[in-house]
Amino acid sequence: MIRVGTFSRPGDARRFAGLVTETGVVELDGAAVGLPDPVTTTALLADWDRVLPLLDAIGADAARAGAAEPRDGVHVHAPLRPGQILQSGANYRTHVIDLAAAHHAERGARPDAEIRAEVAELMDRRAAEGTPYLFIGLPSSVTGPHDDVTIPAWTRKFDWELELAAVIGREAFRVDRDHALDHVAAYTIANDLTARDQVFRRDMPEIGTDWFRGKNGPGFTPLGPWLVPARDVDPGDLRIHLELNGEVMQDETTKDMLFDVASLVAAASEITPLRPGDLVLTGSPAGNGMALGRLLRDGDVMTGTIGALGTQRTRVVAE
């Protein structure tokens, strides 16, 4: 399996696209074997069908020659600078039920069991008859998979949401579900960090949710570490696993999605053209801090893994 990422070396601000092998990282050279020049992950995605066999060959040659440099000698950045980020809300059945119960309990409303039963029925109806709930994230929220993230002073309820992210490689506009996955080049990991106390506008409850305030601060979207080709990933059966200071918080599979990746890509493309380097985040499963009554604090460390897509390690620090 090949993996592609973006790296830099100590003392050198230059970032480069690299191929991750079993033994290390191979810098990709635009002058070699027909790759785009200069090589960036976005340029690779824009010509993915042609360059993927070339990347396979480079990886095989590097493995035979032992040409990779040690992975611990480079800094891992977010694997790409995304264009658009389309995010999916309320897309895991159990997650939505847990959050609805937590929010109602916070407001001192109806019994927990009654709320959970009502929301479960609603989610089942959505899955059968509804459409995905999508909103827009800002590329400026993206940070690397091992970078520290600052908890802003304006939130007291900072939460984690580990998610599978689909990476677009072929333009998609008004594609149907049956063909949507043809436009996904790769998958990666995103942690959709959320300021829960900013999601609902208390000064104007009629307007509903305010995702701009709740999800788009600097560093709110740790991304990566790698881009893993879609051909090597079954997005319908991946385990999403997040630990907080070594304690398991999220441990669920993508089978709990209400709308699968193909449905999400098709729904996003119905409204706006998706282009190479755009991301479609697929929602977060159960096990978030809001539902568990344990939000992020200064010094906490999140470790997130999704199948064979790699591992993030993110420390949060108070502003």
For 246, which DSSP code?
T
DSSP E strands in 117-220: the ranges are 133-137, 142-143, 149-151, 158-159, 162-168, 184-191, 194-195
Based on the fold, state whether residues 139 and 231 are members of the same structural domain: yes
For 182, which DSSP code?
G
pLDDT for the residue numbered 113 = 76
pLDDT for the residue numbered 205 = 79
Based on the fold, state whether residues 52 and 95 are members of the same structural domain: no
pLDDT for the residue numbered 112 = 74
Based on the fold, state whether residues 235 and 167 are members of the same structural domain: yes
Last residue of a domain, one of 37, 57, 77: 77
233 lies in which domain range?
A: 85-318
C-alpha span between 28 and 117 (Å, rounded): 53
Based on the fold, state whether residues 73 and 92 are members of the same structural domain: no
pLDDT for the residue numbered 57 = 92
pLDDT for the residue numbered 108 = 59
pLDDT for the residue numbered 106 = 55
Based on the fold, state whether residues 128 and 264 are members of the same structural domain: yes
pLDDT for the residue numbered 143 = 98
pLDDT for the residue numbered 197 = 93
Based on the fold, state whether residues 70 and 91 are members of the same structural domain: no
Please list the ranges in the chain whose pLDDT falls under 70.
Answer: 32, 65, 101-110
pLDDT for the residue numbered 274 = 98
Backbone angles phi, psi at 241, to 5 degrees: -135, 120
Residue 184, both tokens: 């996904």
pLDDT for the residue numbered 30 = 78
